[in-house]
Amino acid sequence: MFSLDVPNISSEPVDIHVNQGGSCTLECQAPGKPLPELKWTKSGKEIKPNENILLESTPDGNHRLTLNNAQADHAGQYIANVKHKIRTQQMIFNVIVTGIYR
């Protein structure tokens, strides 16, 4: 018999505050059997890793996007798009980059 395990993912947006030049990690737990596909997007475009963005996934369905050396253009809405066989879910992160105050 074939069965699907599709847990719910939080749909409440999460605000992430990071100082300019700092780093932050967005984390989405997307377990399931079979494991779902996950794509990170910002402004409707798929995010690819680069010198400031690290994408990690573990075999148990834990996904992380780490922003390093945060700058003003990193601010915005990031979405973890989780695609199960039977439905798609989203987890939304609002990244707010703030200046360094001395």
Q: What is the pLDDT of residues 71-81, one digit of tens each?
A: 999 999 999 99
User: In the chain, how many domains are there?
Assistant: 1
Report d(CA 76, CA 94) in Å as an integer. 6
Report d(CA 36, CA 30) in Å as an integer. 7
Does residue 11 lie in a domain region?
no
Amino acid letter, residue 83? K
User: What CATH number should be reported for the domain holding residue 80?
Assistant: 2.60.40.10
Q: Tokens for 88?
A: 């798609």
Residue 9 has pLDDT above 80, yes or no: no
Does residue 5 lie in a domain region?
no
Q: What is the mean pLDDT of residues 69-91?
A: 90
Q: What pTM was computed for the model?
A: 0.84
pLDDT given at position 55: 97
pLDDT given at position 98: 93
CA angle 54, 56, 60 (to 5 degrees): 165
Omega of the bond leading into 36 within 30 degrees of 0 (cis)? no
The single residue listed with the structure tokens 């402004």 is 43
Q: What is the pLDDT of residues 30-53, one digit of tens each?
A: 887 788 889 999 988 999 999 999
Give 50's contacts (C-beta < 8 A, 6+ positions apart): none
Domain membership of residue 81 as a residue range? 16-97
